[in-house]
Amino acid sequence: MQDATEVLNEINKVVNWYKKQKSSYNDIDNLLYTRKHLSCLSFFLAEIVGEAYTLFKEYEYERKSSFEKERLRIKKTQSTSVADAEMQAAASSADMRKAENESEAIFKRLSLTLNATNEILQTLNQHIAHLRSEKQAEMKGQGSQGT
């Protein structure tokens, strides 16, 4: 699997390059290459998002499992209410909750980046389609440069 930082940096480079192009940019070959490159990066990012989701779910499972074991242990060894046992168990699994929350935040941030990358791919597709239709119109003598 690709390194997440490298993939994100490469996506940022592509996006920043495309952002700098004027609306009149018409190098279709370069746009096709850019689309191909960004599509591959999107695939790599999707793999990373999947791994982040798996890690998040593992942390969630570990926290819930630890919480429940600790709650049952407290309930068996101490004469306390269910609410007190749950509070003590939650306190003992606070570090796990923090790790779970951090992994969930990473997963969500990567998912948002993947969605945004795919939206940019759609924009590239539309740009390419527009240039192709202009080119076809020019070949038929109907384009803006044909008059």
Whole-prediction pTM? 0.85
CB 2 within 8 A of CB 36: no
| pLDDT, tens digit, 9 for 90 and up, residues 54-111 | 999 999 999 999 999 999 999 999 989 999 999 999 999 999 999 999 999 999 999 9
Cα dist from 130 to 11, 118, 136, whole Å: 23, 18, 10
CA 100 to CA 107: how far, in whole Å?
Answer: 10
| DSSP letter (8 states) at residue 141 | T
> What contacts 100, CB < 8 A, 6 or more positions away?
56, 59, 60, 62, 63
